[in-house]
Structure 1
Amino acid sequence: MHQAPPLRADFALLHAERPIAVVEVKKSSRDVRRGVQQARRYAERLDVPLAYATNGQRLIEIDMRAQIEHEVQAFQSPEKAWTHYRNANELTSDLAVAFAETRYSRRVVDAAGNPKKLRYYQDVAVQRLIRGIASDKKRLLAVLATGAGKTNVAMQLVHVLWENRWPRGVDSTDSRPRVLYLADRDILVNQPMRDWFRPAFGEEPITRVTTSSPRSKHLYFALYQALDQVGDGTDRLFRQYDPEWFDLVIVDECHRGSAKENSAWREVLEHFSSAVQVGLTATPVSQGHADTYGYFGPPIVEYSLRQGIEDGFLAPFQVVRVHLDSDIDGIEITEGTLDAVTGELVPAGIYKLGRLERELVVPARTEEAANYLTDLMRRTDRLGKTIVFCVDQAHAARFREAMVNRNSDMMQTHNDWVVRITSDEGELGKVLLDRFQQPETAVPVVVTTSRLLSTGVDVPTVKNIVLFTAIKSMPQFKQTIGRGTRLDADNGKEFFTIIDFTGATRLFDDPTFDGPPIRRSVVNYGDPIPAEATEPAELDAAFDDDSPRSTVEQDAANDDATDVDDDEVPADVTDPDHIDAVRRRSTVYTVDGIDVRVASEGVYVVDRETGNLRLIRFEQWVRNRMLALELDRESLLAQWATVSGRKALREALEEELGIGIDGLVARLNRPDCDPIDLLIHLAWDEPLKTRRERANRLTRGERAFLSTYAAEARQVLAVLVDKYSANGPDDLDAKVLVLPPFRDMGTPAQLAARFGGVDQLREALDDLGQQLFKSTA
């Protein structure tokens, strides 16, 4: 999976560690105006009012606010540039200037102990928020894609206010701001408090509001549900605070909970209406009585999934669409069919996708989906963390059981390889979730859930998102796939895969979704898909259930905007799984004896000319792309032969193909072959060689090459050939000399000495590669 390298400005001019201008530099031999548009692009991203383009001899100044470009003799002085920044951003008060000059907190650190720095768009978000507060705005909205770091923005915002003793000033006896961090799920409160605010501010000023109304702290974290209950007094907890008590209210996932103007939880925000209220969300809504924009106003900053992928901060993705035959036309239940569990009569009729698992359970359907996921993980990564979103808790339990039975070998070595994490799991579920979230823990690998993990759960290493529940709500869909958008290259997470059994990914085609996938892929069990085929229209119809909706479905349709209907659910019910259970009224029947199979799959790619999705046969698409690049087999082999050549070729081909060349091994299920041989096989119909065949040919036919080295050096090369045969081309590298069996043969320096030194060792590795990848045409 290819991800474009992030944009990098040549220079940024800083004031108080904050960019206030940007400079794009071109070679002196090039026209100075060649860098103007690039400089403008950087300035727009960094939200700075001043940009420069130069070739070292001439200088173009670009005023982004006045939209004037002209040639100048010199850069503005630091003082003038800062004045220009203040004027452009209307920093007219002492408070606004003090906010802008406040340095960010460096107390939150990463795994290596280094301070977590703000990304450029996070800095933009914080600066716009504090400018809004300095100009006395009461409601502010920041829309940032899932995984873009809303919590970091919130923490640094509070830090700036904290350092400036806003709003009462240094002369007050209570000079720190009082902040309420508000959400509707435990994890949305606990994780920010634990991972961000406590490291930044310490334990002393922080409290969690549960059953009482403490007043001795400054940073308060609470659920709507806790504030809406009667505490140790006679009134609801939030009313036990004076309306002016809080200076700032941060509303996390503000598209939920209080989003409805007639909801009970809106009263909490209205009670504290004198405070500045900041809404944070990835999925603002504007439908019916739920209107994020209507309450908070237009967003002061927006950062989309598409932008995050383009910038290299969020993970690109591929989509695997899988159509089960039971879901295409629905399942027909004839008169007289009995429930497999209770023996009751099952109402006759056709049960389409929207009713499956909610009203009709077909065990074979879940088992076939588990078969498919198991096969996919066997081909790719059986330790790749995976979240399976099911219809409800019972469905999640059935899917977990099906995965256990198909992966008994993994369960024997990893008892928690697959687990269910839902409300019913209680404290055990919290323990399992905490382990699942940690990048360094190997298990759990596969987690089945319903809605508990769809919002606010940060699992950076998730590689697969499985959709086995129909999703029609755009906010819910974006939140759900957002569980995979975080990058974690240090742990091998550079992209993720969405496996869609229910057609939910059709929402990518909605104009309101901000970023189409890099490509979509669906594998075909049947006949090859024609190169220009389109997805059968009847498959779309399968996901539009024209039968009467159940109460649950109708509730979900009416409540898409906020995910929960807090007026129908008791105040102490905080978990979305429990909310679903409260809503559910219909009887669920179980029917055995129905055969379910994967009906079709196919490959979707993005057309580079049109930007639209095109369904093609994967092998044919790779061949067409290779031929269009006008490459030849001999030059590919020659470049692949050297360590540096392999690195450069991987990057170049990922740029052109949109898929890593090493991904061909998993996609074509040929782990015994070298990626370059698979590519040549696809492009030119060359007979496919295995790595072992290449190694055997070398040992039989290239003795003259080996004889040029001393016996001790030949021993190292022979082991390298064996490792290549077993593991692949990455083992043709000096880096493997620290691994067994080389570790027992000496240190890397001692092994290099067998060749006459490090440089000679590298030459020998490239010579070995050239012999291995000689053309046999």
Structure 2
Amino acid sequence: KGYADYVLFGSNGKPLAVVEAKRTSKSPDAGKHQAELYADCLEAKYGVRPVIYYTNGFETYIIDGLGYPPRRLYSFHTATDLELMIQKRSRHDINDFKVNGKITDRDYQKMSIKAVCEHFNKKHRKGLIVMATGTGKTRVAISLVDILTRNEWVKNALFLADRTSLVNQAHKNFVKLLPNMTTCVLSDDSDHDLNARLTFSTYQTMINHIDTEDKTFSVGRFDLIIIDEAHRSIFGKYGAIFNYFDSLLIGLTATPRDEVDRSTYEIFEMEQGEPNFAYELEEAVADGYLVNYIGIKRGSKIMREGIKYDELSPEEKAQLEKVFEYERINKALEGEPGRDIAASEIFTYIFNDDTISHVLQDLMSNGLKIKGSEEIGKTIIFAYNHRHAEMIVEKFNKLFPEYGPDYCALIDNYVTYADDLIDKFADKNKEPQIAVSVDMLDTGIDVPEVINLVFFKQIRSKIKFMQMVGRGTRLCKDLFGPGKDKECFYIFDWCGNLDYFGKGNEGVGTKATISLTERIFNLRSEIAYYLQAEEYQEDP
């Protein structure tokens, strides 16, 4: 007996939803059973069970009729959202696990896909996959979208990443491997197909679309959200996105399962250290899907002992004063320019001209080389900040002007059209050959040709460190010539990161590569030496 507070009817005259609203002084749960009774009556009369909402004005919960437990919502769905939700009730468990081999063809990838699908079959709405950088997380995501759409679980999906370059990279892969699905890349300055099946966005851009009175998307616009590199900071900074949208959620991360923080597991409603699937660096290297690194530990007297102001030349003192002024403006350094610099401070800002020279000369002499060992391979130098990166590029151009102005390039957020530079760096036939990066190349960039990483900054987050190491782990066929594939990459560590994280050089030596020119010179010298033997001398 009694009347429902609100019933939303569809265009066909049948109920889409029933709402039971209680006073704000009461718990919304007080109206749950009452709403279910109203839904029973409406189902008996109209032959369709409406979606159930119950609320006290502050908190709103939904029972969608798909078998999930009640869950809290940010807001109500639109009529279109509700119609699609009711249509989904006819779906079956995901039983078509057939993976398109053109998308994912490795056994561990197929295992990860099946693990998430089976998790969803058990009425879970969130899945988490741990896979080392370079093992195909994006391809796994594409296969999951393919399988979930084929099984009629997903119609519209959203892919989120923290940088535009990563969004564009993912979009290219989805378009290539799922060419029949409409796509949209959100940005703040272009037109969009807001009805596209697949939407790609940075977190901040999506916040801009939903953090307005006239929201671009409804809470039910997406059936699935995929998070690239899911970790605590994303949920802390952009949690409003996941509170707003009512969808399935899949998190991808390269962070080792034991390093994923507890709060991330809690967000995905999982036990600590137990994602749906994990395939980590050591396993991938052992299976031949990634390459390992050779750690080359470097240092300098300045890094060990600091800078003694009185021991500097006038030119170095002038340079140090400029550093002080720059860092003081950026609130990174205190004190007067005429003081000594402790060794611990060197790890915060390494601007010493001599140190930069040593780092670059060491790289060019001992770094892995290609093209008959004549040219340094693709290299990333991780710099501390923008000014540090500028000084590295300036010093390279002074030391090695013969390589031209584009050979070594600064890539960070201060650089206009940095994404274009990233695309050029990712092209094996284009320059720059050496990228000096401040944060932008730390994660997510897929450049298999990278064979040298220079850590010219101190890292104290193991998650970030492993992500940076991942820039070099990808396989690359014929990199050193026909049949000569990439087998390892070098890490030049100038700031004690390998020791800090308990990493060695993996038991492999650090023998320098000798260029073709050097080998020819050495061979000629050796021939000349032997030709001096008595038996090769002519009588006068």
Q: TM-score, normalised by structure 2?
A: 0.69
Task: String of CA shifts for 1:272-293, please: whole Å, max 9, x gaps.
Answer: 2x42111101116889987322
Structure 2 residue aligned with 1:224: 203
Structure 2 residue aligned with 1:183: 161
**CA–CA distance in 2 between the matches of 1:508 and 1:248?**
36
- Match for 2:298 among 306, 322, 325? 322
Please say if 1:435 is aligned against 2:424.
yes
Contact 1:253 1:281 in 2 (8 A): yes
Closer, same or farther: CA 406–418 of 1 in aligned 2, 3 Å: same
- Where do 1:387-426 residues align within 5 Å? 387-411=380-404, 415-426=405-416
The RMSD of aligned alpha carbons is 3.7
**CA–CA distance in 1 between the matches of 2:305 and 2:508?**
23
State the secondary structure of the residue aligned to 2:129.
strand
Q: What is the one-letter code of the residue matched to 2:120? A: I
**1:243, CA displacement in angstroms?**
2.5
**1:128, CA displacement in angstroms?**
1.0
Structure 1 residue aligned with 2:229: 253
**1:216, CA displacement in angstroms?**
1.6
Structure 1 residue aligned with 2:213: 234
Please say if 1:460 is aligned against 2:448.
yes
Structure 2 residue aligned with 1:244: 220
Closer, same or farther: CA 316–149 of 1 in aligned 2, 3 Å: same
Closer, same or farther: CA 104–230 of 1 in aligned 2, 3 Å: closer
State the secondary structure of the residue aligned to 2:474.
coil
Structure 2 residue aligned with 1:332: 308
Work out the number of aligned pairs and report it. 417
- Match for 1:299 among 271, 275, 283? 275
Contact 1:105 1:200 in 2 (8 A): no
Contact 2:119 2:127 in 1 (8 A): yes
Structure 2 residue aligned with 1:348: 339
Task: String of CA shifts for 1:575-632, please: whole Å, max 9, x gaps.
Answer: xxxxxxxxxxxxxxxxxxxxxxxxxxxx6xxxxxxxxxxxxxx8xxxxxxxxxxxxxx
State the secondary structure of the residue aligned to 1:423.
coil
Structure 1 residue aligned with 2:434: 446
- Where do 1:101-180 residues align within 5 Å? 102-104=98-100, 106=102, 117-167=104-154, 177-180=155-158
- Match for 1:383 among 354, 376, 380? 376
Structure 1 residue aligned with 2:460: 472
Structure 2 residue aligned with 1:569: none
Contact 1:399 1:448 in 2 (8 A): yes
**CA–CA distance in 2 between the matches of 1:378 and 1:98?**
48
Structure 2 residue aligned with 1:367: 357
**1:257, CA displacement in angstroms?**
4.2
Q: What is the one-letter code of the residue matched to 1:313? A: Y
Structure 2 residue aligned with 1:280: 252
Q: What is the one-letter code of the residue matched to 2:187? A: T
Contact 1:125 1:142 in 2 (8 A): yes
**1:469, CA displacement in angstroms?**
0.3
Closer, same or farther: CA 143–445 of 1 in aligned 2, 3 Å: same
Q: What is the one-letter code of the residue matched to 2:265? A: Y
**1:306, CA displacement in angstroms?**
1.0
Task: String of CA shifts for 1:451-482, please: whole Å, max 9, x gaps.
Answer: 11001111110110000000111011001111
**1:356, CA displacement in angstroms?**
5.0
Contact 1:354 1:470 in 2 (8 A): no
State the secondary structure of the residue aligned to 2:376.
coil
Structure 1 residue aligned with 2:28: none
Closer, same or farther: CA 255–120 of 1 in aligned 2, 3 Å: same
**1:325, CA displacement in angstroms?**
0.7
Closer, same or farther: CA 692–199 of 1 in aligned 2, 3 Å: farther
**1:488, CA displacement in angstroms?**
0.3
**1:258, CA displacement in angstroms?**
2.2
Identity value in percent:
26
Task: String of CA shifts for 1:267-321, please: whole Å, max 9, x gaps.
Answer: 211222x421111011168899873222222311111111111111101211111
Closer, same or farther: CA 317–221 of 1 in aligned 2, 3 Å: same
Contact 1:419 1:444 in 2 (8 A): yes
State the secondary structure of the residue aligned to 1:459.
coil
Closer, same or farther: CA 245–691 of 1 in aligned 2, 3 Å: farther
Closer, same or farther: CA 154–382 of 1 in aligned 2, 3 Å: same
Contact 1:374 1:403 in 2 (8 A): no
State the secondary structure of the residue aligned to 1:283.
coil
Closer, same or farther: CA 251–491 of 1 in aligned 2, 3 Å: same
Closer, same or farther: CA 230–193 of 1 in aligned 2, 3 Å: closer
Contact 2:184 2:200 in 1 (8 A): yes
**CA–CA distance in 1 between the matches of 2:444 and 2:238?**
19
Contact 2:184 2:194 in 1 (8 A): no
Structure 2 residue aligned with 1:766: none
**CA–CA distance in 2 between the matches of 1:665 and 1:695?**
24
Task: String of CA shifts for 1:157-203, please: whole Å, max 9, x gaps.
Answer: 11111222225xxxxxxxxx211111111122110101x21122227
**CA–CA distance in 2 between the matches of 1:335 and 1:376?**
30
User: Structure 1 stretches of 5 or more lacking a match?
Assistant: 1-92, 107-115, 168-176, 511-515, 522-602, 604-617, 619-662, 675-687, 701-777
**1:670, CA displacement in angstroms?**
5.6
Q: TM-score, normalised by structure 1?
A: 0.49
Q: What is the one-letter code of the residue matched to 1:265? A: Y
- Where do 1:336-735 residues align within 5 Å? 340-341=321-322, 345-346=336-337, 348-356=339-347, 358=349, 361-377=351-367, 381-411=374-404, 415-427=405-417, 429-439=418-428, 441-492=429-480, 493-509=486-502, 517-519=505-507, 690=526
Task: String of CA shifts for 1:330-376, please: whole Å, max 9, x gaps.
Answer: 22346997654499741624332445563x73222222222222222
Contact 1:329 1:352 in 2 (8 A): yes
**1:507, CA displacement in angstroms?**
4.3
**CA–CA distance in 2 between the matches of 1:689 and 1:363?**
36
Contact 2:347 2:495 in 1 (8 A): no
Structure 2 residue aligned with 1:205: 182
Contact 2:298 2:493 in 1 (8 A): yes
**CA–CA distance in 2 between the matches of 1:148 and 1:438?**
20
State the secondary structure of the residue aligned to 2:414.
helix
Q: What is the one-letter code of the residue matched to 1:401? A: E
**1:494, CA displacement in angstroms?**
2.5
Closer, same or farther: CA 476–286 of 1 in aligned 2, 3 Å: same
Closer, same or farther: CA 477–378 of 1 in aligned 2, 3 Å: closer
**CA–CA distance in 2 between the matches of 1:313 and 1:672?**
37
Structure 2 residue aligned with 1:736: none
Contact 1:317 1:519 in 2 (8 A): no
Task: String of CA shifts for 1:478-498, please: whole Å, max 9, x gaps.
Answer: 011110000102223321100
Closer, same or farther: CA 381–473 of 1 in aligned 2, 3 Å: farther
Closer, same or farther: CA 505–209 of 1 in aligned 2, 3 Å: same
